[in-house]
Amino acid sequence: MLVDLLQQLFNGLVIGSIYTLVALGLTIIFGILGIAHFAHGSVAMFGGYLTYFLILALGIGVFPAMALAMAGGALLGVVLERVAYYPVRNAPPINSFIIALGLTLIIEKSNLLLFGVDQIIVPTGFNRIFTIGGLALPELRIYILLTAAALVVALTILIQKSWMGMAVRAVAQNRAAAILMGINVHAVSMFVFALSSALGVAAGVLVGALFAIAPGVSGGLVVKGFAVLILGGLGSIPGAIVGGLVLGVSETFASAFVSSAYKDVIAFLLMIGVLLVKPEGIMRRSVAR
């Protein structure tokens, strides 16, 4: 029984770490620009597809391919910010909301046109399974957890310690004061979109390695991402980390001990529960800390 619990906890943390990566991007964008960036899931899928084709075309390993795809994702993020969101920065929020929906469709269909309709699995070559005291720890899942953890740590250091990270937090907390300090808010927006999209791409690659990428996967991913945001508190980085892991573990426990049919219901139950009991999220903090 204990082994079962630990096994499900491990599986849950692996999936949760992917949710965390998706949610981090969404939460930083929301914290800075107040935009619900629904297209984030499609950007993630774009990254997964791109990595798959880079591995096939260049014959490189999954990590270099992922790094290239993340750079591509960052570039795509900047383009999205400039072309789609920047022009409506002073308009009422409903504008960016509609644009976000439109972008989702555009990127989703572009993925179809660019990469086809077939389901793909990102090849990693990590096939070993370690067994420790009855726990089955597939090599692939360990690498996923480590990759996600490394990215989260890197992001935290960047946001907490670098000048750019300080600028990001300053804009989230007090936009006018940030301008008075000499911070270029538009540059910060572009940086945030680049950073978030690169993280989203990483999440897409990990989904593609763990499960598969196919048209339609992005919708589920972005819903989970927003569930995490509501769980952890909109705009909160620690909230996205904790919320993602909580969602992943809850889902895995529910499908292992209740029924796998209810797996996807969990996200919504958690979301409704948090909204009823603690609507500011379990970690009430802005992009701040």
Nearer to another protein, 128 or 289 (CB): 289
CA distances from 71 to 94, 148, 149 (A): 30, 17, 19
Report in angstroms how near the CB of residue 239 gets to another protein at its nearest. 13
Nearer to another protein, 166 or 210 (CB): 166
Nearer to another protein, 21 or 155 (CB): 155
Report in angstroms how near the CB of residue 161 gets to another protein at its nearest. 10
Give how far the C-alpha of residue 55 lies from the chain's centroid of Cα atoms, to the nearest Å.
22
Pairwise CA distance, residues 191 & 16, whole Å: 25
Pairwise CA distance, residues 113 & 121, whole Å: 18
DSSP per residue, 107-138: HHHHHHHHH-SS-B--------EEEETTEEEE
33 CB neighbour count, 10 Å cutoff: 22
Tokens of 153: 């740590």
CB 284, CB 233: distance < 8 Å: yes
Binding residues (CB under 8 A) for another protein: these are 163, 166-167, 169-170, 173-174, 176-185, 285-286, 288-289
Report in angstroms how near the CB of residue 287 gets to another protein at its nearest. 8
Report in angstroms how near the CB of residue 233 gets to another protein at its nearest. 12
Nearer to another protein, 263 or 284 (CB): 284
Q: What residues have CB less than 8 Å from 158, skipping those under 6 apart?
A: 164, 165, 195
Report in angstroms how near the CB of residue 210 gets to another protein at its nearest. 35
Q: What is the largest CA-CA distance in the chain?
A: 59
Report in angstroms how near the CB of residue 230 gets to another protein at its nearest. 20
> Residue 123 carries which side chain, given as an amino acid letter?
P
Which alpha helices (H) appear in the chain, and where do they start and end?
2-33, 40-58, 62-80, 93-115, 139-161, 163-173, 175-180, 185-210, 217-232, 237-253, 263-277
Nearer to another protein, 119 or 162 (CB): 162
Report in angstroms how near the CB of residue 31 gets to another protein at its nearest. 11
Nearer to another protein, 163 or 276 (CB): 163
Nearer to another protein, 95 or 286 (CB): 286
